[in-house]
Amino acid sequence: MDERIWAEQVSEKIKRKMRTVAERSRDKIPYTTVDGVFDDWRKKDICWWTNGFWGGMMWQLYHATGDAFYKEAAQDNEAWLDENLMCSRGMDHDSGFKWLPTAVADYRVTGNPDSRNRGLLAANDLAGRFNPVGRFIRAWNDGGEGGKAGWAIIDCLMNLPLLYWAWEEINDPRFLHIATMHADTAERYFLRRDGSVNHIVEFNPMTGEYVQSFGGQGVAVGSSWTRGQAWALYGFTLSYLHTKQERYLEDAKRVAHYFIANISESGLIPVDFRQPIDCTWEDSTAAAIAACGLLEIEKCVDACEKHVFHDAAIRLLTALEEKRCCWSPDCDNLLEKCTAAYHDAKHEFSIIYGDYFFIEAVWKLTGQELFIW
Ligand code: GLY
């Protein structure tokens, strides 16, 4: 089938399913499904790092359909997150994931000054996590004991666009400098020569010296957690898009070539590219995120190499659509077989950001995307 027709058909299926799902999930901020029904992290933990993706889905659907229902749902999600914005223990490196798809998206669409205010507060907090001697943005909090004060993670590259947005919005280059210094640190200490990346790197928070790396949500030190590869692939691309510094595009391409070389015959993505050979656990989120990054890289490279990134994205997305999507209107999630971390007790369930990035990728292919990052 013609690829454009395929993408349009998938887009229509998403719209048909999501209107029903969004209506019955009106007061929730979902993370996963239990027996096909979305849970609700608005009540469970308003500071959970994924709590912006539902709002992002609503904005993407609003942008594509003009249906005011989605706009109201997105704005409710944004307002509920104010409780998080006032809670220092719940503020961390993931502010971009929470406030770019909600407040900043709202501001971009409607110009709402309250949304701009939320975005700037979140950006200031994120900038405040920067460690100037180690030149990295601190990742998680740890109850104030300082045990993780030197930890940085690859995922953070995806949060830098909140700083790029603040830089452009108030014309203050501090935000640019912090974002690029962190990206440079990621390039130096996370990106390996073969294009794979570390998940966690620990620095001495007093001196800035490198201490060690951890396997994090992947198998072990030196392994290759696929969602981390996808965050790096898309994250370096975004730093290139915002700064036009060529080396970030080169970094993104290095990760992309490594990722593409590891896509199996099935087009489905494991939890870790270096997991034991007899382990079949998958992570569909990694495939959806990587597809988004690949489609952005495609736009930035010369005509002669566009097909490399485009074709890989299509392989990932067609595999997801054919084998890992639930199209029934009775089940709330889209993607199946998502995994949060290799060593967790539970694997292969639905996760909201898998659905978000799948929609974003299909919207990129059909020209309906609201650019969030
Ligand atoms: N940012 C955390 C994760 O990707 O699981």
Q: What is the mean pLDDT of each run of 10 residues along the chain (373 residues)?
A: 95 98 97 98 97 98 98 98 97 98 99 98 98 98 79 98 99 98 98 98 97 97 98 99 98 99 98 98 99 99 98 98 97 98 98 99 98 98
Residue 142 pLDDT: 84
Structure tokens at 179: 């974002």
Residue 144 pLDDT: 59
Residues linked to residue 137 through DSSP beta bridges, in sequence order? 130
Q: How far apart are CA 363 and CA 6, in angstroms?
A: 12
DSSP string, 10-22: HHHHHHHHHHHHH
Neighbours of 243 (CB within 10 A): 18
Three-state SS for 147?
Answer: coil
User: Ligand 1: distance of its center to the CA of 59 in Å?
Assistant: 21
Residue 217 Cα: closest atom of ligand 1 = 5
Q: Taking the mean position of all CA atoms in its chain, how far away is CA 60?
A: 15
Indicate which CATH number applies to the domain containing 257: 1.50.10.10
Residue 146 pLDDT: 63
First-residue to last-residue Cα distance in the chain: 31
Kindly state whether residue 334 falls inside one of the protein's structural domains: yes
Q: How far apart are CA 41 and CA 29, in angstroms?
A: 5
Q: Do 294 and 309 form a contact (C-beta atoms < 8 A)?
A: yes
Kindly state whether residue 137 falls inside one of the protein's structural domains: yes
Q: How far apart are CA 258 and CA 73, in angstroms?
A: 38
Question: Furthest-apart CA pair in the chain: how many Å?
Answer: 58
Q: Do 196 and 258 form a contact (C-beta atoms < 8 A)?
A: yes
Kindly state whether residue 347 falls inside one of the protein's structural domains: yes
Kindly state whether residue 372 falls inside one of the protein's structural domains: no
Residue 143 pLDDT: 60
- What is the span of the domain harbouring residue 9? 3-366
Kindly state whether residue 57 falls inside one of the protein's structural domains: yes
Structure tokens at 103: 């407040």
Q: How far apart are CA 187 and CA 184, in angstroms?
A: 5
What is the bridge-based pairing of β-strands 130-131 and 136-137? antiparallel
Kindly state whether residue 371 falls inside one of the protein's structural domains: no
Kindly state whether residue 23 falls inside one of the protein's structural domains: yes
Q: Do 240 and 292 form a contact (C-beta atoms < 8 A)?
A: no
Q: Where are the alpha helices (DSSP H) in the chain?
A: 3-24, 41-44, 53-65, 68-80, 82-85, 95-99, 105-110, 113-127, 160-170, 173-189, 226-243, 246-261, 284-300, 303-323, 352-366
User: Ligand 1: distance of its center to the CA of 78 in Å?
Assistant: 20
Residue 70 pLDDT: 98
Q: Name the residue of 154, 217, 352 to mutate for ligand 1: max ligand atoms within 8 A of Cβ.
A: 217
Residue 1 pLDDT: 81
User: Ligand 1: distance of its center to the CA of 155 in Å?
Assistant: 6
Phi then psi for residue 180, to 5 deg, are -75, -35
Q: Is the CB of 155 under 6 A from ligand 1?
A: yes
The total domain count for the chain is: 1
Three-state SS for 211?
Answer: strand
Place of tokens 């990035």: 357
Q: How far apart are CA 249 and CA 342, in angstroms?
A: 29
